[in-house]
Structure formats: C-alpha cells, structure tokens
Amino acid sequence: MTQWIDIGQLEDIPRLGSRVVESVHGDIAIFRTKEDKVFALRDKCPHKGGALSQGIVHGERVTCPLHNWVISLLDGEAQGFDSGCTPAYPVKLENNRVYLSLEQERKTG
C-alpha cells in the first residue's frame, strides 16, 4: 500500500517553479507547470549535481541552472544529446493538495 505524504496546497508551489522537500532520499523538488501539473524529482541534476529546483520550468521539463541540461519532469531523463537521469517520484493532486510518495520511486533506464 502506497503511503502518501501531504506536501501542502498547490498554491504553495509557484507556477513554473518548485518547492523543496527534505527526505531520507535527499532533497526532492516538487515542480508545478503552467498548466498546474505537478511532478517530483530528486533535486540533483545527473550532470554535475546542480539544484534542479533552481532551474527554469518550461512545458514538462526543467533546465538545470548550472550547465543548461534539460531534464524531463515525467521521468527524470536528460533530453537531447545529453544522457543521464535523476530519480522521479510519484505525486498526486487531490482537492488542491499535493501528495508525494517515497516508497514507489520510479526507476528509469
């Protein structure tokens, strides 16, 4: 059974921005898109470890502030010619509240 952690209201996360949550897995960035979709990734770029939470959100991607790597918010995979990934975590939105699961971390290739 999945355990969900209540992160707070959707409005607590800036549109086209993020909020950082501390966990046993390290910091996790919760992202909100322009369309109010919510995603969660480990707050660490697979390239040089930059804080993805400080990056620019565009569409369903975030650009790392250190070296401009573009990371998919869907699965944590680097886009384009870059390769690497950062763990993505399940999130859900219910009654305008954001919930995060740490137990069922989605693994990417």
Mean pLDDT, range 11-22, rounded to an integer: 97
pLDDT digits (tens, 9 = 90+) for 84-108: 899 999 999 999 999 999 975 555 4
3-state secondary structure 20-55: EECCCCCCEEEEECCCCCEEEEECCCCCCCCCHHHC
Instruction: Quote the mean pLDDT of the chain.
Output: 92
pLDDT score, position 107: 52
Indicate if the pLDDT at residue 81 is higher than 90. no
Domain 5-100 has CATH 2.102.10.10: yes
Question: What is the percentage of the chain residues whose pLDDT exceeds 90?
Answer: 85
Long-range contacts of range 78-83, CB-CB < 8 Å, 24 or more positions apart? Answer: 78/46, 78/47, 82/47
Closest CA to 7 of 87, 72, 93: 93
Secondary structure (3-state) at 70: strand
* H or E, element range at 91: strand 91-94
Domain boundaries, the chain: 5-100
pTM above 0.75, yes or no: yes
pLDDT digits (tens, 9 = 90+) for 41-55: 999 999 999 999 999
pLDDT score, position 12: 96
Cβ atoms of residues 31 and 42 within 8 Å:
no
pLDDT digits (tens, 9 = 90+) for 29-42: 999 999 999 999 99
